């Protein structure tokens, strides 16, 4: 019974709460909308209360009592048999039957309590509230309601535009006062920034922004002017506000001026208008070295992160990768545009992106190189700012490249490192001779033969320079030409490396009879003249490189012979000779480059030293080099002000024109160093506009202008003199004395 009563009470409470929430939601929504429209917290609070009260009056949640809850329960739960009201009736007043019914109903209600569903419009109310809030946000975002927001904005004393009358005679007149002032800065649409109302009159705005000034006065005035640099525009009146709109293009200073109905002029102080540019995005590459190389067998993957920031939003990020294959003339490039692995959110101001690059997935093979950089664009319009990082390199090491070394300064390195050099052979031979007494004869012979084989290999290797791998010695000394049935070095040498004749200088004496014959046919005189043009053919060299090589090989032949005959001692002398010859070849190996220089045109013999001048012409040029005087108006202004200070006179209209011109010159300086010159510029502006001549101001401007002027260097000039009679007499006396 009590439980049933409790359920009824709870349902009533729930119903009331739901109604209140509905009312509150709608009121909040409308209140927030009004806040966005008016910008005033109090207005929105009052509107909230009003809406709350009105909506509450309309819904009348207090009228819903226990009776209503009972009938609601009767309607929703059929099992209650329209008897819920019995539960709230007084027990004493009820008949027995009613009491029984009450008891039953109580039980039923407790059993059926899950079926109770109180009706509500919370979702609808929430929808209204959200709609109102988003409408407010939208209006604010678009900047549609800014004027409305700031119309009633209070002018702070600190930021108030200060006007001063240009004529002191009218001190008794109550001057018009700035009642409201607001500067609206509307950023370019791409920035996505809402228009803002600046409280600071000294503005700092993004290039391309639209700036609007709206000034309201407490009295009617005749006209208001906006002065930017040397330009002056009249501000049109709109809804009792004088306004002016300017698109931010370059920095400068501005003043506001107005004329009241009594023709008195008032001028504001000088305010700065600084324009800043949209910065290019900044990119930092983390965990990445400028150059990285990978072994073929290792995994060719690397990972890096890029931190990108921009002041208004990034629109595009990409990795521009270039793969190069091959070397020298056969190099091929392939460019690819890669995306970061981390998904990139457009218009974000700061992102950190990650990328894992697998060189294999780029179809790179050993020896291939990858160059890549990150390119970022921001959302600036019409032309985006683009930032590129440095270029990074990644290489898969090539295993095929061998470093040949015959001799350091040879034109071509053809010697594989598994060849024994002549010097090594000599060392090994000497070692063998030294060990002869300690080792077995068979061993000795075997090793001698081995050395003989190495000597052959070396000889054949050098033979390749000659273009003939199996060339016989020119002068076999003790035995005849050895024939080699098969090239045992096939397994070791690269065949294509052997064709290297073009790297060698021409031979002085031709081996091939038929070639010689051909040459003889071409130039029958060749055999009889000294050909100085060919350095190889010149008699300056005792022996050509080729013949020396041949000699060395013949020494090697002999050395090999004796090694094969197990006579390392005999072989040693030949080996030394061969080594000496190779050393000589090394020293004489040079690459000849044609010398490039100035070849003077030949002088005609008949013209030389003839003293003929008729073709030599005089020359004349006329030039106006006079440099413009720096800051002429500032100098003129100083001259004027100096007189004003020392003679205590007032500034004339003509003087004011000079001061205005000086102000333009100083303005250029002040943009770069406002802290240094702004005050002077302000006072100068004042003097050039004002009717009165304030001595303190004149002194300030004088000092400021003097500070702004660069030092004048000493210049020569004509001096003025009067040659009096005394001078003449003196000079005459001097001359007479000499």
Chain residues in the site for other proteins (CB under 8 A): 613, 616-627, 635, 638-640, 642-643, 645-648, 698-700, 702-703, 706-707, 709-726, 731, 734-735, 737-738
Closer to other proteins by CB, 535 or 632: give it: 632
DSSP 8-state class, residue 730: H
Angle between helices 96-111 and 2-38 (to 10 degrees): 60
Smallest separation (angstroms) from other proteins to the CB of 652:
15
Q: CB-wise, 97 or 616, nearer to other proteins?
A: 616
Q: Is 355 helix (H, G, I), strand (E, B) or coil?
A: strand
Nearer residue to other proteins within complex by CB, 403 or 720: 720
What is the residue whose two structure tokens read 């001026």?
Answer: 257
CA 178 to chain centre: 45
What does the angle CA 163 – CA 167 – CA 169 come to, to the nearest 5 degrees?
125
CB 54 within 8 A of CB 155: no
Phi and psi torsions of 606, nearest 5°? -75, -15
State how beta strands 392-396 and 291-294 pair. Answer: parallel
CB of 651 to other proteins, least distance (A): 15
Which pair of tokens denotes residue 471?
């060339």
Question: Which residue's CB is nearer to other proteins, number 360 or number 728?
Answer: 728
**Least distance to other proteins, CB of residue 716, Å:** 4
Give the nearer residue to other proteins in terms of CB position, either 485 or 711.
711
CA gap 582, 410 in Å, rounded: 11
- Shortest approach of other proteins to residue 632 CB, angstroms? 11
Rounded least distance, CB 653 to other proteins, Å: 19
Query: In the complex, what is the shortest distance from the CB of residue 659 to other proteins, in angstroms, rounded to a whole number?
Result: 14
Q: What's the min distance (Å) between Cβ of 737 and other proteins?
A: 7
Question: Alpha-carbon distance 686 to 268, whole Å?
Answer: 9
**Cβ at position 701, least distance to other proteins in Å:** 8
Q: Where are the alpha helices (DSSP H) in 303-347?
A: none
Whole-number minimum distance, CB 633 to other proteins, in Å? 12
Peptide bond into 515 cis (omega under 30): no
Q: Quote the tokens at residue 433.
A: 């001779």
Rounded least distance, CB 637 to other proteins, Å: 9
Q: How far is the CB of 168 from other proteins (least distance, A)?
A: 21
Structure tokens at 485: 């049935």
CB of 352 to other proteins, least distance (A): 48
C-alpha to C-alpha distance for 665 and 681, rounded to whole angstroms: 10
C-beta separation of 73 from 84 below 8 A? yes
| Cross-strand partners of 254 | 228, 271
Residues with Cβ < 8 Å from 483, sequence gap 6 or more?
A: none
Least distance from C-beta 644 to other proteins, angstroms?
10
**How many residues are listed for the chain in this entry?**
738
Q: Which residue has the tokens 């070639």?
A: 515
Q: Which is nearer to other proteins, 480 or 611 (CB)?
A: 611
What is the distance of C-alpha 604 from the center of its chain? 61
Strand partners, 294: 396
Structure tokens given for 686: 């004042």
717 — alpha (psi -120 to 50), left (phi > 0) or beta? Answer: beta
Q: How far is CA 565 from the centre of its chain?
A: 75
**Between 298 and 623, whose beta carbon lies closer to other proteins?**
623
Please identify, using beta-carbon distances, which residue of 668 and 729 lies nearer to other proteins. Answer: 729
Residue closer to other proteins, measured from CB, 438 or 711: 711
Rounded to a whole number of angstroms, the minimum distance from the CB of residue 614 to other proteins is 10
Q: Backbone phi, then psi, for 591, in 5-degree steps? A: -105, 125
Q: Which residues, at least 6 apart from 336, have a Cβ–Cβ distance to it below 8 Å? A: 320, 321, 322, 323, 362
In the complex, least distance from residue 682 CB atom to other proteins, rounded to whole angstroms: 16
Residue 497, classed as helix, strand or coil, is helix
Nearer to other proteins, 249 or 643 (CB): 643
Distance CA 472, CA 480 (A): 9
Cross-strand pairs, 598:
none
Structure-token match 């008016």, residue found: 38
Residue 502 or 713 with smaller CB distance to other proteins:
713
Q: How far is the CB of 726 from other proteins (least distance, A)?
A: 6
Name the residue nearer to other proteins (CB basis): 442 or 646.
646
Closer residue to other proteins in complex, CB, 17/645? 645
From CA 327, how far away is CA 5, in angstroms rounded?
95
- Cβ closest to other proteins, residue 321 vs residue 651: 651
- Provide CB contacts within 8 A for 354, sequence distance 6+: 303, 304, 305, 306, 340, 341, 342
Among residues 523 and 639, whose Cβ is nearest to other proteins?
639
284: CB partners within 8 A, 6+ apart: 306, 307, 308
Beta carbon nearer to other proteins, 265 or 683: 683
161 and 354 Cβ atoms separated by less than 8 Å: no
Cβ contacts of 159 within 8 Å, gap of 6 or more: 199, 200, 201
């Amino acid at each position: 019974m009590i439980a049933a009563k409790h359920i009824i009470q709870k349902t009533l409470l729930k119903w009331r709460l739901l109604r209140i929430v509905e009312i509150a939601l709608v009121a909040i929504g409308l209140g927030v909308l009004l806040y966005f429209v008016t910008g005033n917290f109090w207005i929105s609070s009052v509107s909230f209360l009003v809406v709350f009260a009105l909506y509450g009056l309309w819904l009348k949640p207090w009228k819903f009592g226990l009776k209503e809850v009972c009938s609601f329960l009767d309607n929703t739960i059929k099992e209650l048999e329209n008897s819920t009201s019995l539960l709230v009736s007084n027990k004493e007043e009820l008949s027995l039957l009613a009491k029984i019914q009450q008891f039953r109903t109580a039980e039923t209600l407790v059993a059926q309590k899950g079926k109770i569903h109180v009706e509500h419009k919370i979702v609808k109310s929430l929808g209204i509230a959200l709609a109102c809030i988003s409408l407010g946000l939208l209006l604010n975002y678009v900047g549609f309601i800014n004027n409305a927001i700031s119309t009633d904005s209070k002018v702070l004393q600190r930021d108030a535009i200060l006007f001063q009358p240009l004529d002191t005679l009218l001190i008794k007149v109550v001057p018009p006062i700035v009642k409201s002032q607001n500067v609206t800065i509307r950023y370019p649409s791409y920035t996505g920034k809402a228009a803002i109302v600046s409280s600071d009159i000294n503005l700092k705005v993004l290039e391309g922004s639209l700036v609007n000034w709206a000034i309201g006065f407490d009295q009617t005035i005749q006209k208001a002017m906006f002065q930017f640099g040397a330009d002056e525009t009249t501000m049109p009146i709109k809804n009792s506000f004088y306004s002016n709109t300017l698109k931010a293009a370059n920095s400068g200073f501005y003043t506001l001026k107005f004329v009241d109905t009594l023709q008195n002029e008032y001028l504001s102080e000088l305010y700065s208008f600084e324009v800043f540019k949209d910065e290019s995005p900044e990119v930092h590459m983390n965990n990445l070295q400028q150059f990285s190389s990978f072994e073929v067998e290792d995994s060719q993957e690397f990972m890096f992160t890029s931190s990108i920031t921009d002041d208004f939003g990034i629109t595009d990020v990409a990795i521009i990768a270039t793969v190069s294959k091959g070397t020298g003339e056969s190099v091929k490039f392939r460019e690819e545009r890669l995306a970061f692995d981390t998904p990139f959110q457009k218009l974000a101001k700061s992102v950190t992106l990650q990328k894992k690059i697998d060189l294999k997935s780029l179809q790179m093979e050993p020896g291939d190189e990858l160059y890549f950089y990150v390119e970022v664009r921001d959302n600036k319009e019409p032309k985006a700012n683009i930032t590129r990082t440095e270029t990074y390199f990644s290489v898969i090491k090539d295993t095929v490249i061998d470093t040949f070394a015959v001799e350091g300064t040879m034109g071509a390195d053809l010697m594989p490192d598994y060849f024994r050099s002549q010097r090594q052979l000599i060392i090994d031979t000497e070692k063998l001779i030294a060990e002869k007494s300690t080792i077995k004869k068979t061993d000795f012979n075997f090793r001698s033969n081995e050395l003989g084989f190495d000597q052959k290999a070396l000889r054949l290797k050098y033979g390749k320079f000659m273009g003939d791998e199996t060339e016989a010695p020119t002068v076999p000394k003790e035995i005849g030409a050895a024939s080699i049935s098969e090239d045992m070095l096939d397994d070791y040498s690269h065949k294509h490396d052997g064709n290297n004749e073009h790297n060698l200088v021409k031979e002085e004496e031709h081996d091939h009879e038929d070639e010689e014959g051909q040459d003889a046919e071409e130039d029958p005189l060749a055999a009889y003249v000294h050909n100085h043009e060919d350095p190889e053919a010149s008699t300056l060299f005792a022996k050509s490189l080729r013949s020396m090589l041949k000699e060395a090989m013949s020494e090697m032949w002999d050395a090999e012979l004796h090694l094969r005959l197990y006579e390392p001692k005999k072989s040693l002398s030949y080996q030394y000779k061969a080594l000496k010859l190779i050393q000589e070849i090394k020293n004489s190996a040079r690459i000849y480059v044609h010398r490039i220089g100035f070849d003077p045109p030949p002088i005609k013999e008949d013209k030389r030293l003839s003293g003929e001048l008729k073709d030599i012409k005089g020359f004349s040029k006329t030039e106006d080099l006079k440099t413009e005087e720096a800051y002429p108006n500032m100098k003129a202004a100083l001259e004027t002000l100096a007189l004003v200070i020392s003679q205590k006179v007032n500034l004339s209209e003509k003087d004011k024109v000079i001061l205005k011109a000086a102000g333009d010159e100083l303005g250029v300086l002040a943009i770069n160093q406002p802290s240094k010159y702004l005050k002077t510029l302000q006072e100068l502006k004042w003097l050039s506009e004002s009717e009165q001549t304030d001595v303190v101001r004149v002194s300030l401007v004088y000092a400021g202008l003097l500070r702004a002027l660069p030092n004048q260097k000493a210049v020569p000039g004509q001096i003025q003199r009067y040659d009096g009679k005394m001078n003449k007499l003196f000079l005459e006396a001097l001359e007479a004395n000499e």
